[in-house]
Amino acid sequence: MIKIQFFLWLLILIFVLHFNFRSTVPSKEFKINTYIKLKFEGGRTNIYVKNRIFQQCMYLLLNLRVDQIEDYEEIDSIDEAAEKLDRTMERDHGIISPEEEFMGHCSNLQVWAENGYDTRILHRNLAFPLLKRLTEVGDPLAKKVFKEEIAIRLGSKHPTVITFLTQNGYLKYLNREELEVIFNEISPTILSGITDELIQQLEHQPPINFGNHLRYLIQDLSRKFGVQNLPILINHLLRGIPENHKENLIKQSYNFLKMNRKFPLIQFINENIKYFDDFEFEFDFVKYHGKIIGIFRDKQLYLCRQKIKNIDDIEILEENIIRIEELDLSNNLISDIKGIEKFSNLKYLKLDNNQVTNVEGLKHLKDLHTLYLRNNKISEIKGFENFTSLNYLDLSGNSKITEIPDSLNNIPALKTFKLWNCSIRKFSEASSKFFWMNQNYRFYSGYTQTDKIYYEKTHKNKSSSTNGLFKQFVVWVIKIRKIMKEEKFTYSEIEKFEIETTQNALWWVRTTKSFKLWLNDRAQMRITEFI
């Protein structure tokens, strides 16, 4: 967990920059990057995004008392720190001057930008609206990390953050795959009250108009989560509803949503097929070992959670096979993907949460542009070289993957590549862009506990949190590992030198001249002793 030093570090920067700003910012204007600028106007701080004022209430969290430091030992973000602080600070601006507050805001936003818009560093009320605005004006970094930050912060399970993101509709920016990854863990926080209210409405005596209540509920959930994610929510609500009411909920939801083009109707029917026994659909059914497992329509086929082991055993009209462009086989029991080649026109394939070990059978899918292979048993990234159209590849959760190969450069269209929760230790200069892509660096494993201890001791910053490594630490540890190998020294020698000489052995990630001479002398001594 991030300890209080992380937050004190931000505050210390305010005072460090105080003297610099007096000489370098006479106009009280500070540029963070191409998109963000701060101005001190009329005694208050204003944020400008692409030269247009961004109005957002801000205050500095400064009232940390020394005798309360032990209360902050388990803090993971500014949001958690804010809950421990005296919130009267928001309206009491007499503690520091407006000019000093301006400098503090500049410092905080500078650190936020330098850390890749990490939303743990700013309060949620500022971080997410500002990040959203940056995506709207075209900031490429913001566009890349916006949804990732939402998912990561949801994964923190912090109730206040989850409530903020939900109530303000940020979850609707996640697609089904992104939301589904974390929803099992956060759904009790979000849905418990809704489930209780649904049961009360369903069991009310005398019966009331449940349809109207459900309509309003669906509208509210659509606003907060997006229509495309309603199947996830409805299926989670089903788990808490008595069996005798489930069919009523599913069929009424179907009637309300069947004409909404954004609602994934086919997917919804497939996942709830057992509640539609008396329906006469004008669709072609798909079977597995003689049992109906789904419905085919509009080039899409969703067959997740159907206990499928062999793709070859999926029964579907041959004339429909070549029409399928989107196939979801996630959460099955597939280890061998033999048979996938018959779906020759696939553009989107999802095989998450199976037991796949290699992708040899995919080589015939020349038009594939999106491929999900999360949480399988893949240990080596190979066999993707022929996918000239592939632009999205997710291998997250394949924990045995340790190396990013250069061969990924042979996939010209690849724009998104995820290795979250893998064990990346090795990559070359040619493949480094994939390491830094989509925050894969957070899951770098090529470091030791000694690296972390030394970094935190010398930088006064945390190296990681529960959501993975910080980018500045990863940059540092890769460089320090390289220089230690080239110049052949250890942390023990650093410590010994600094004790003997009271001088620094390193400056950032470069050895000082005095340390180099010291190392050379020790090497000469060893040679002399050997002779």
Q: Is there a single domain that holds both residue 105 and residue 193?
A: no
Phi, psi (degrees; rounded to nearest 5) at 314: -70, 125
* 3-class DSSP assignment, residue 458: helix
Question: What is the pLDDT, as a whole number, of residue 213?
Answer: 83
* Residue 470: domain span: 447-531
Is residue 48 within 8 Å of residue 39, measured between CB atoms? yes
DSSP sequence for 33-71: SSSEEEEEETTEEEEEETTEEE-----------GGGGGG
Q: Are 113 and 145 in contact (CB under 8 A)?
A: no
Q: Are residues 187 and 114 in the same domain?
A: no
Task: Check whether residue 129 and residue 196 sit in a common domain.
Answer: no
Same domain for 116 and 56, yes or no, is yes
Asked if the structure places residue 54 within a domain, the reply is yes
Q: Which pair of structure tokens corresponds to residue 275? A: 């509640």
Of 112, 139, 166, the last residue of a domain is 139
DSSP assignments along 237-273, one per residue:
HHTTS-HHHHHHHHHHHHHHHTT-TTS-HHHHHHHTG
Q: What is the pLDDT of residue 205?
A: 60
Question: Is residue 135 located within the same domain as residue 179?
Answer: no
Handedness of CA 371, 374, 377, 382 (dihedral sign): positive
Q: Which H helix or E strand runs over 286?
A: strand 284-288
Q: Quick check: 7 and 81 in contact, CB under 8 A?
A: yes
Q: With 60 as the cut, is the pLDDT of residue 207 above it?
A: yes
Same domain, 45 and 104: yes
What's the CA gap between 232 and 184, in Å, rounded? 10
Show which of 280, 301, 332 is a domain's final residue: 280
Number of domains the chain is built from: 3
pLDDT of residue 67: 42
* Dist. CA 371–CA 343, nearest whole Å: 14
- Give the pLDDT confidence score for residue 94 in this predicted structure: 55
Domain boundary among 280, 309, 328: 280
Task: Indicate if 133 and 190 belong to the same structural domain.
Answer: no
C-alpha 374/C-alpha 328 separation (Å) is 13
Name the β-bridge partners of 292. 287
Cα gap 421→444, rounded to integer Å: 9
Asked whether residue 289 is assigned to any structural domain, the reply reads no
Q: Do 111 and 17 share a domain, yes or no?
A: yes
Task: Note the pLDDT of residue 128.
Answer: 92
In-domain check, residue 360: no
What is the rounded average pLDDT of the residues 473-495? 93
Per-residue pLDDT tens digits for 173-191 = 988 878 877 777 777 667 7
Residue 347 within a domain: no
Q: Are 308 and 330 in contact (CB under 8 A)?
A: no
Q: Are residues 192 and 128 in the same domain?
A: no
Sheet with 416-418, side-by-side order of all strands: 300-302, 326-328, 348-350, 370-372, 392-394, 416-418
Residue 45 lies in a domain: yes
Whether residue 119 is found in the same domain as residue 38: yes
For residues 499-513, give the mean pLDDT.
89
Whether 10 is covered by a domain: the verdict is yes
> To the nearest whole percent, how much of the chain has pLDDT over 70?
84
Is the residue at 356 inside a domain?
A: no
pLDDT in tens, 45-69: 899 999 999 875 455 544 443 344 3
The predicted model gives 421-432 an average pLDDT of 94
193 and 77 housed in the same domain: no
Retrieve residue 102's tokens.
């301006």
pLDDT of residue 57: 47
Q: What is the mean pLDDT of the chain?
A: 83
Q: Are residues 182 and 135 in the same domain?
A: no
In a domain, 528, yes or no: yes
Do 131 and 119 contact (CB within 8 A), yes or no? yes
Residue 18's pLDDT band (cuts 50, 70, 90): very low
